[in-house]
Chains A and B, each alone.
Chain A
Amino acid sequence: QKEVEQNSGPLSVPEGAIASLNCTYSDRGSQSFFWYRQYSGKSPELIMSIYSNGDKEDGRFTAQLNKASQYVSLLIRDSQPSDSATYLCAVVTGGTSYGKLTFGQGTILTVHP
């Protein structure tokens, strides 16, 4: 089993819809979770971080964390064509203090007008 797995894509949603991206992780000791967005040919950029169970909202983005189920998700409301990108789930794993991130394989999101 991979340490961090994301729902297989690609995901295609119409403009204005809610896009739902999911991620599961295997290390029960993980405490820190991140969502990165990566446009084609560019480097990853952080869009959300979450550390506690529940929801965290930032504009059109909501991250949800359930540590009991080892599940983290990202909802994008009112999706725009500019949201079309690869979304990477990342988890601090290994219980070290060195901040090593383990990434999922990424989910390609396409928002069509």
Chain B
Amino acid sequence: NAGVTQTPKFQVLKTGQSMTLQCAQDMNHNSMYWYRQDPGMGLRLIYYSASEGTTDKGEVPNGYNVSRLNKREFSLRLESAAPSQTSVYFCASRPTGGETQYFGPGTRLLVL
């Protein structure tokens, strides 16, 4: 039982490049979330998926898109990376009926 996994662990992009951050969970959780964490800002919600086939915007969705590929996987795409998207990205999942979110190890993204 790996919990929540994220790939890659670290990525460097040039401004304008695109990439997809991958997240998968093996806990059969319905809800999944993408956050970004910047120094002194806590975690801010980018997008979430309450269940397979649904996605909704969070607090800071601009510049991102998401796909809930199936119940296990929830990906985050940056179509044209900007230096302001330099951050640590965390994926989380939550079981139906529970409120505890379980976090992946994070992806550190640097946009030059």
Stretch from B36-44, B62-70, B72-80 forming part of the interface with A? B36-44
Asked if A34 and B100 sit within 8 Å, CB to CB, the answer is yes
Asked if B103 and A43 sit within 8 Å, CB to CB, the answer is yes
Interface residues on A, range: 20 to 34
Asked if A105 and B42 sit within 8 Å, CB to CB, the answer is yes
Asked if A99 and B42 sit within 8 Å, CB to CB, the answer is no
Known A88-B43, A99-B99, A106-B42; judge A43-B48 contact (CB<8 A). Answer: no
Known A43-B90, A43-B106, A44-B90; judge A99-B101 contact (CB<8 A). Answer: yes
A23 to B6, CA, bound (A): 30
Residue count of chain B within 8 Å CB distance of chain A:
23
Residues in B neighbouring A105, C-beta threshold 8 A: 40-42
B residues at A contact (CB < 8 Å): 31, 33, 40-45, 48, 50, 56, 58-59, 90, 94, 99-106
Residues in A neighbouring B103, C-beta threshold 8 A: 43-45
From 23 to 82 in chain A, residues with beta carbon under 8 angstroms from any chain B beta carbon are 32, 34, 42-46, 49
Known: A43-B104, A49-B100, A99-B31. 5 other contacts (CB 8 A): A34-B100, A43-B90, A43-B105, A49-B99, A100-B33
Could you tell me the distance in whole angstroms from the C-beta of A106 to the nearest C-beta in chain B?
Answer: 5
- Ordered by A's residue number, 12 sampled pairs between the chains whose C-beta atoms are within 8 Å are A34-B100, A42-B106, A43-B105, A43-B106, A44-B103, A88-B42, A98-B50, A99-B101, A100-B33, A101-B45, A102-B45, A106-B42
- When C-beta atoms are compared, the residue in chain A nearest to B43 turns out to be A103
Residues in A neighbouring B50, C-beta threshold 8 A: 97-98
Q: Contact partner of B48 among A34, A97, A100, A102, CB < 8 A? A: A100
Most chain B CB within a 10 A radius of its CB, from A34, A90, A98: A98
Known A32-B99, A43-B104, A92-B99; judge A100-B58 contact (CB<8 A). Answer: yes
Known A43-B90, A88-B43; judge A101-B31 contact (CB<8 A). Answer: no
